Amino acid sequence: MEHLINTQVKNIQISGIRQFFNRVAQFPDAIQLTIGQPDFPTPEHIKEAGKKAIAENKTGYTKNAGLDELCLAATNFIEFKYKLTYNPKTEVITTIGASQGIDIAFRTILEEGSEVILPGPVYPAYEPIIKMCGGIPVYADTRETGFKITAKQIESLITSKTRCVMLPYPSNPTGCILTKTELAEIAQVLQDRNVFVLSDEIYSELVYGQKHYSIASFPGMKEKTIIINGLSKSHSMTGWRVGFVFAPENIAKHMLKVHQYNVSCASSISQWAAVQALTKGVDDASAMRGEYEKRRDYVYDRLVSMGIEVVKPEGAFYLFPSIAKFGLNAEEFAIRLLEEGKVACVPGSAFSGYGEGYLRLSYAYSMEILEEGCNRFERFIATL
């Protein structure tokens, strides 16, 4: 019966991140630097809120868009943090993680043949969803622009079929951000065009030494922008699966239909925990952010001391060093690093062809693990 499976689904590959993560299971003595998951536990007050919800039998369905209390908390949070105003009754949807938010956004705005401009290298989950919607991913090569998509690149790639521009910043896998000036230049290109912007801001609370800005804050942009955010990274709640979509009502009302028939609603227990996170835990990310910054500085300095070319990330918790000088492709290097050096990193090729020649290293691990990982990495490259 496999010949009857949807062709677009058959042609999709399992994420390169997960493929490599699964390979690591065969090497229990390897240092694991692959997965983008905070190593901090969910804050206690949030866990207690989840327990309380269970004890009080708050375990039934909620409104499709989420609890009124949570929608209000989410819109208050994004206004307090980023000066963005959304109506909690009509312009926010609580999703099952940011991933489901991305899915319903693309399924709402894309049709057969719609083009989506996105930076390469980029998080690998976007392209499969675009293709399953009948869309066409169109990549901007950001390797010569500090891994940042530019207004000039976007303008050169726009066609009559362009339906959306993807702005995933702070970036997974590079940790790069777009500055206020860079966003303003992109807004200038897009504000008078009938093109959506899907802005994945899941790492917005993990920006170092400066503020996070959203493209939706610029004149003429909120009306066409769909913001994706959530609590996985900011509040170390990956397994709770709570994300948010913020969009103008005339867009959100259509996404809500897709969401409704897709999942009905997010977990009620997780939603009550999320209310706590966004009210009593507004600044929970602060301590984690400070620790990540120390880790970033340590690993970055170690790589530079080894003679490795790497852009210093300004957000998220990844470094994306070049390994091109070693004469191995990204997958070959990563496999040998794992098998011989006993360090697991994700080959850059998992993040599109534009990631070839690079390696993604997550520093969402303790300093002890990072120190040993860097020591092993240094010993390994000395053998090449």
Instruction: Kindly give the interhelix angle for 97-109 and 249-263, rounded to the nearest 10 degrees.
Output: 120
Q: Which CATH code is given to the segment(s) 2-42+285-381?
A: 3.90.1150.10
CA–CA distance, 344 with 339 (Å, rounded to integer): 9
Place of tokens 């919800």: 53
Amino acid occupying residue 186: I
* Antiparallel, parallel or unpaired: β 92-95 and 115-120: unpaired
pLDDT tens track of the chain, all 384 residues? 877 778 877 777 776 676 777 778 888 899 999 988 999 999 999 999 999 999 999 999 999 999 999 999 999 999 999 999 999 999 999 999 999 999 999 999 999 999 999 999 999 999 999 999 999 999 999 999 999 999 999 999 999 999 999 999 999 999 999 999 999 999 999 999 999 999 999 999 999 999 999 999 999 999 999 999 999 999 999 999 999 999 999 999 999 999 999 999 999 999 999 999 999 999 999 999 999 999 999 999 999 999 999 999 999 999 999 999 999 999 999 999 999 999 999 999 999 999 999 999 999 999 999 999 999 999 999 999
Q: What are phi and psi of 235, to 5 degrees?
A: -120, 15
Residues 6+ away with beta carbon under 8 Å from 57: none
Residue 2 is given by DSSP the state: G
- Which stretch of DSSP H or E encloses residue 199? strand 196-200
Q: Can you give the residue ranges of every domain in the chain?
A: 2-42+285-381, 44-279
pTM comes to 0.96
CA–CA distance, 278 with 74 (Å, rounded to integer): 7
Q: Which CATH number fits domain 44-279: 1.10.760.10, 3.30.300.30, 3.40.50.720, 3.40.640.10?
A: 3.40.640.10
